[in-house]
Amino acid sequence: MAAEGTADSELLEQTQYTAAGAVRAGSGAVQAVGSLGLEADLLLGHSIGELAAAHLAGVLSLEDACTLVAARATLMQQARADGAMYSLAATEHEVRGLLPEYEGRVAIGRTERA
């Protein structure tokens, strides 16, 4: 914990520094529960937590998880502070039809549903 208004507290506002801590906290929580003899049947996470869960489930090595966390944190740190994200269920064609005035300023990400 850092005192509010200090240089250290300002660093804690930056994703490039907090992402690793978030993964370690999640990993530590699972390990603490495991030390009590409890074992999870399922692990999941959101955002950075997904990478921690993938490592703890044996999908990613610690080195690979750390590499992905660092790369994601670097990209997030470089993102515009005034940017935004929105999620909706629509085809790319439908979305592009709504955005002609934003051409070149909006990026569309797409996922495939199973």
pLDDT digits (tens, 9 = 90+) for 3-47: 888 988 888 888 878 888 888 888 888 889 999 999 888 888 888
Counting Cα atoms < 13 Å in the Cβ hemisphere of 28 gives 6
This prediction has a pTM of: 0.62
Q: Could you give the CA distance from residue 113 to residue 59 in angstroms, rounded to a whole number?
A: 21
Any long-range contacts for 48-52 (C-beta under 8 Å, 24+ apart)? 48/19, 48/22, 48/23, 48/72, 49/22, 49/23, 51/23, 52/22, 52/23, 52/26, 52/27
